[in-house]
Amino acid sequence: MQYISGTPRNQLCLFQEKLDDLIQEDQLVRFIDIYVDKLDLIKLEVFNIDRTTGRPGYNPALYLKIYIYSYLNKIRSSRKIETECKRNIELIWLTEQLTPDHWSISNFRKRNKKAIKNIFKEFLSFCHKLNLLSFECIAIDGTKMRSQNSLSNVYKKKEIDKILENVEKKIEDYMADLEENDKTEKSEYEFLNKNIPVKLKRLRTHKEKIKSIQEVFNNNPELEKYFANDPDCSFQKDNGRCVAGYNCQSSVDEKSKLIVATDVTNQNNDTYQLVPMYENTNKIKTSLKVSKKSFFVLDAGYHSEREIIKAINNDESTDLYIPHPKDVKNDVKYKKVKKGTVPAPGFKKENFIYDKEKNVFICPENQTLTQDGKSRIKHGTETITYKCRTYLNCKSRELCSTTRYGRRVEASTKYDVMIKFREKVNSDIGKKIIRKRKELVEHPFGTIKRNLGYTYFMQTGIESVKTEFSFIAFIYNLRRVINIFGVTNLIEVLK
């Protein structure tokens, strides 16, 4: 039976083909090569090693090309990148057969955090020239990503002494086993004890680590938990699980579903992320000289009066839409109402009418609640308590309050502004805008986590993590633009 035969490995070739002939014209690697060559690395503040003696260093553009190609192909480890530079035909073409070692590749990433962030902004400028950004409707959302810190490397202050005691006990037990083994010299049980010296060395190293962590707790009395591998991360709830990681934020433009702003925080919820992301997005708008009005849409997790008021007061050229948690129809806990609950339906705070001119609340029974005492600051917001003075003669008293002092309503000094904001969000136009949120923000996160496989960070420390997430967002944007235009068309744009 005949089969197709290959070229013998030891056969000499009369004519050797060029390396360039091995890469097709529509390959993504060709766009990476041209795009990086067009960048102004000085403007991007790319760090370059100035060698006055010894062998010259590699061009910083080379490292940048390697990183862009590697991240696009789900390769992040510097050692794996080094290996790919020696065997991957596309990387061999891209680097012109240069093979930097993993230390040089890793050091470039460490020394160019600011430059890597600038690349994300520079590519947004390129996207804006391609008319891919509208800044009309922008959705903001967050997702949780694991850090380089397993739960086994999280230490609690109240448990650290016990952990150290257990390690010391294990060391004593191993030492006793070694001594017993030397006395009895039972060769048939040698396989049980031959690894004890190695285990002892590991335990002693672990003991020193526990002592250093114990010292951290002693020097920081307010610290309750310590994340040994990445001290900047924190516990994050992710799909019903608790992981050590970060809360990653992104703003997504409605026109092409491109990420226009990013941020990373170690806070485990989105309550105080509205203003930072709002300001980051507006900075991008300003840098791109976009002056049109933008609609910002977020989910109920971002609903915070302090954040909303601050965002509204900062800029009148934008409009904000965040549903109130009680208005979210998919929230089961607001669907079910237990019988006998007080206040009963119809007597909730939202059923009371606020009269701004008189500074009073009018209850469903047309009774007036007046201010009780002075205002006070609560969670950074100035609040006022209103009290019903006629509760003893109210026929609905049992439905309204169970206390002998009668019904009290606490509201902020900006309550009237928040009522108008809530009415705007619940309007027909507001509901349509809210529905657009999912189709915008879920697409980038789905692509980053499922397609590219970036569910965790390689770097440690919040500044390094911010840099890595910014670069991941750039890679997503690059992949998205290529899917829209195609490699050949993008190359034509750059030429």
Domain-wise residue ranges, the chain: 19-111, 134-147+235-323+426-472, 151-227, 332-422
pLDDT higher than threshold 60 for residue 332? no
pLDDT at res. 229: 86
Summarize the confidence of residues 457-483 as an average pLDDT. Answer: 94
HSE (side-chain half, CA atoms, 13 Å) at 349: 11
| Cβ–Cβ < 8 Å for 136, 255 | yes
Structure tokens at 76: 């992040």
Using CA atoms, how far residue 295 sits from 133, 136, 171, 432, in Å, is: 14, 6, 62, 12
**What whole-number distance in Å separates Cα of residue 275 and Cα of residue 303?**
11
H helix count then E strand count, the chain: 16, 14
pLDDT at 334: 47
pLDDT at 285 over 80: yes
Contact 109, 64 (CB under 8 A): no
Can you list the positions of beta strands (E) in 239-341? 241-253, 259-265, 294-297, 318-321
Partners of 138 in beta bridges: 253, 296
Q: Are 452 and 75 in contact (CB under 8 A)?
A: no
Over residues 184-204, the pLDDT tens digits come to 655 555 555 567 677 778 888
Residue (of 493, 489, 494, 495) closest to 26 by Cα position: 489
Q: Is 225 helix (H, G, I), strand (E, B) or coil?
A: strand
| Cβ neighbourhood burial of 428 (10 Å; 0-12, 13-18, 19+) | exposed
Helices 415-425 + 305-314 axis angle, to 10? 80
Query: 134-147+235-323+426-472: which CATH topology?
Result: Nucleotidyltransferase; domain 5 (3.30.420)
How open is the CA angle 441-446-447, to the nearest 5 degrees?
105
Q: How does DSSP classify residue 59? A: P
| Rg over CA atoms, the chain | 31
Upstream peptide bond of 343 is cis (omega within 30 degrees of 0) = yes
**Residue 355, token pair as written in the block:** 């009269």
Residue 100 backbone dihedrals phi, psi, to 5 degrees: -65, 145
Spell out a b/e string for 27-52, using b for 16 or more CB atoms within 10 Å of the CB, else e.
bbbbbbbebbeebebeebebeeeeee
88 has pLDDT over 90:
yes
8 A C-beta contact, residue 456 and residue 148: yes
What is the pLDDT averaged over residues 226-250?
A: 88
Grouping H, G, I as helix, E, B as strand and the rest as coil, residue 304 is coil
pLDDT band at 382 (very low <50, low <70, confident <90, very high): confident
Contacts of 403 (CB under 8 A, 6+ apart): none
* Short-list 86, 98, 90, CA closest to 72: 90
Closest CA to 251 of 221, 285, 219, 224: 285
Which three-class secondary structure state does DSSP give residue 403? Answer: coil
Across residues 146-159, what is the average pLDDT?
A: 84
Question: Residue 137 has which token pair?
Answer: 């409707």
Of the pLDDT bands very low, low, confident and very high (cuts 50, 70, 90), residue 454 is: very high
Residues 259 and 446: beta-carbon distance below 8 Å: no
User: What tens digit of pLDDT does each residue of 418-441 get?
Assistant: 989 998 999 999 888 898 888 888
342: tokens are: 């007080």
Angle subtended at Cα 349 by Cα 348 and Cα 352, rounded to the nearest 5 degrees: 100
Distances (CA, A) of 453 to 10, 196, 256, 449, 476: 40, 40, 21, 5, 11
Write out pLDDT tens, residues 19-54: 888 888 889 999 999 999 999 988 888 876 555 556
Of these ranges, 308-317, 319-328, 350-359, 467-476, the one predicted with the greatest mean pLDDT is: 467-476
Distance CA(305)–CA(322), nearest Å, equals 11
Who has greater pLDDT, 131 or 6? 131
